[in-house]
Structures are given as C-alpha cells and as structure tokens.
Chains A and B, each alone.
Chain A
C-alpha cells in the first residue's frame, strides 16, 4: 500500500535551462 502524505507537496519553482546557465555563468565570472 502506498504511504500518502497528509498534505499536498509544495511545488518547487525551477528556473529554465537558459536561466540556469546564465546564473552559472555569472557565478563563474564572480569567482576569482
């Protein structure tokens, strides 16, 4: 039998692949 959670799961907002890449690039630029 499946164990159902009592409350609904919280949707985790995710950036798009392109946004993720932009964030990654800016992080790399910041690091020495």
Chain B
C-alpha cells in the first residue's frame, strides 16, 4: 500500500527544489533503482512529472548548469536501466511511458503556443521561463525510439516461439484433425523433441499481458497501437514464411484453422479497441494464404477467383503454395501444372517483389504524437516510498 505525503500547507507552485549534491540520489531513487511496482496505484508516469518539476525549478532560478546536469543524468540513468533490464518488458514499457511523458511535458510547458492549445490557465503558469529545451527534446525523442525498439524486440522474442504452433499446427476446431493430409508426421517447430506446442490462447494471453502493462503504465494509446501493429506484422510474417516452406501445413484443413485463428486475433483487436491501429491489415497476406488453401483449384474460373482474391500475395508466393498444396485424401486431386500455368499467365503483369519470404524483422517507423496531460503539476503528490524527502516543494 502506498503512503502518500501530502504537503500542501504552503502554496505549492508545482516546482521541486533540491541541492545539486543530491542529484545522484535523485537519479538513483527515481530512475536507476526504481521498481515500477513501487508506483502501482499512483499517477501513471509520476517519475516524468517529478523530473519536470525539478527541471522547472532549475529553470525558475535560471540555473542552466543544473538543467543540463539533471537532463543528462536522467537520460544516462534511463539508458543504464534499459541496458540492465534488456529483456524485461515491464521495465522497458515503464521507461518508454516516462520518457515520452517527459518529452510531452517539455513541449506542453515550453511556452510554444503550438503546444499550449489545450492548456488550462493554471498549466500555462507552469511553463518554463528562461530556457528553450528544444535540443533536449530531440535527445528524448531519439531515446524514446531506442526504448520502443527494445520493447518490440522483447515482445517479439516472447511471441515468436509460439507463432508456428499456435497459428499453423494447433487444432482447436473440433473434427478437423480427421481431415488432415495423411502421410505427414506432426512436426514440431522446435529443434528438440517434446511438447513445445502453444495454442492461440497462449498468444492471446501474452498479448493481454502486454496490453495491460502498457495501459497501466500510461503509455500513449497511439504508441500501444503501433506496438500491436508491429507484433501482428511479425505474427503474419513468421506464419506465412513457415507456410511457404512446409508441405504438411499447405492443406485445406490448415487453411480453415488458420482463418479461424486470424478471426480470433481480429476479434481480440476489436475487444481492445485496437481495430484502427492498422494491425489487422498487416495480416492480409496470411488471410489470403488461408483463402488460397480453401479455394477450389481446378477450373479457369477457380484461377480467376484466386487471382481476384489473393492480392496481398505475390505470384511467386501463390505458385509456391499451389505447388506445396497437399490433397486431403485420395479423392482430392493435386493442383495440376496446367492450373498453375493459368494462374501465372493471369498474373504476369503484376509488379511483384522478387523475394518469396517476408522480412519478419522489418520494423515500421514509429511516431510519437504530442499528447498533453490534463494533470496540473501542483496536484501531484510524491509517495513516501520513493524516498525523495530531500525534494522541497516550491
């Protein structure tokens, strides 16, 4: 339980003063040694607000060296934490939220009218008076990009081992296993034998966990959307690449299961209000591959339907899947060479990329839209658990 120290007896103007020699202690208690759990139940991004209030006091007393020193120590402290916790999603998300919030504060209180349109008169009183921190904003923006990249790398590392078994191998639709192609042993995507299979539920549970951590920490909704767009792109790329290389999963039944799995993921996006993030659109090649597996592949009309529907797959990918396609049983025919030639003839004018496989490490450029806070600095309380009693409220 958090104990909050309320010191509002004086007219608090939303500034925090400290002796220069206490700066290392401030950075240690607020940045390098801080555990995000210490702040559960408090205002999200509290460290960012505290740091801004310290910067504001240094600005107020016109101490440029103190501002330089605090910002440099903060940035180096954040980098140190990230290096130490380079596989910790919660810690990385926490510092992404706080770095972005500090960047938003430096904009919101910069005095630049373009960033002040949503400020209350009280918030306008909390603007910097002496210094223009535009260059430091650039550094914080660069740092935010680095942290975002680390966050994606961690999340991808956690999700990637689940993708093939959850999307292509796991059978959650009842009765589908009976219509699997015969003659193929169930393959494991792992190097070692054993039960390493994951269901789609495991992916959804993991994404629920990512989502709740980022929301609880007050990460900007636009950034959360970009995280999931990136993760959905990777799910699409890893699953499609595997499909393009494995005969045993190129079947009607896998197509059916795959389409069902993608629908579950689309529903998850809608449930989290992330349907406008662009995440679902990144799955289009995989959706088209699932459709290709399910469509009839015999007549010229079937070829026409495939060419009309599978617009997110290249000719090379369509042909590859058709070549790998495995009939369910002796009653279903293989795709004929003539059918594949018809497809190739119909698609010859397409300007397709040359490579067969998708670059699953591709990253979309990230944007950090300005997101001012409605919070007023003088309403912020510092929990005793932070051990920052050496900060004086001004």
Contacts and interface: CB of A to CB of B under 8 A. Distances in A.
B138 A14 contact: yes
Nearest to B141: A17
Interface residues of B, number: 29
A10 to B, nearest CB: 6
Contacts of B138: 14
Contacts of A23: 72
B139 A9 contact: no
Interface stretch (B127-135, B224-232, B378-386): B127-135
Given A1-B121, A16-B139, A9 B64 contact: no
A17 B119 CA distance: 30
B76 interface: yes
Given A2-B124, A3-B125, A5-B111, A10 B76 contact: no
A12 B136 contact: yes
Interface in B52-66: 64
Interface string B281-297: 00000000000000000
B256 interface: no
A6 B146 CA distance: 37
A20 B80 CA distance: 12
B124 A3 contact: yes
A8 B134 CA distance: 13
A11 B128 CA distance: 12
Interface string A1-32: 11111001111111111001101100000000
A5 to B, nearest CB: 5
B111 A9 contact: yes
A31 to B, nearest CB: 12
B76 A24 contact: yes
B358 interface: no
Nearest to B133: A12
- Specify the main secondary structure of chain B where it touches its partner: helix
Contacts of B135: 11-14
A23 to B, nearest CB: 8
Nearest to A10: B131
Contact of A14 (B71, B111, B146): B71
B79 interface: yes
A23 B129 CA distance: 28
B142 interface: yes
A27 B127 CA distance: 33
A9 to B, nearest CB: 4
A5 B130 contact: yes
A11 B112 CA distance: 13
A16 B139 CA distance: 6
Nearest to A17: B142
A20 B139 contact: yes
A3 B111 CA distance: 9
25 contacts: A1-B121, A2-B116, A2-B119, A3-B124, A3-B125, A4-B111, A9-B111, A9-B129, A9-B131, A10-B64, A10-B130, A10-B131, A10-B132, A11-B132, A12-B67, A12-B68, A12-B131, A12-B132, A14-B135, A15-B72, A16-B142, A17-B75, A20-B75, A20-B76, A21-B79
Interface of B: 64, 67-68, 71-72, 75-76, 79, 111, 116, 119, 121, 124-125, 127-136, 138-139, 142-143, 146
Interface of A: 1-5, 8-17, 20-21, 23-24
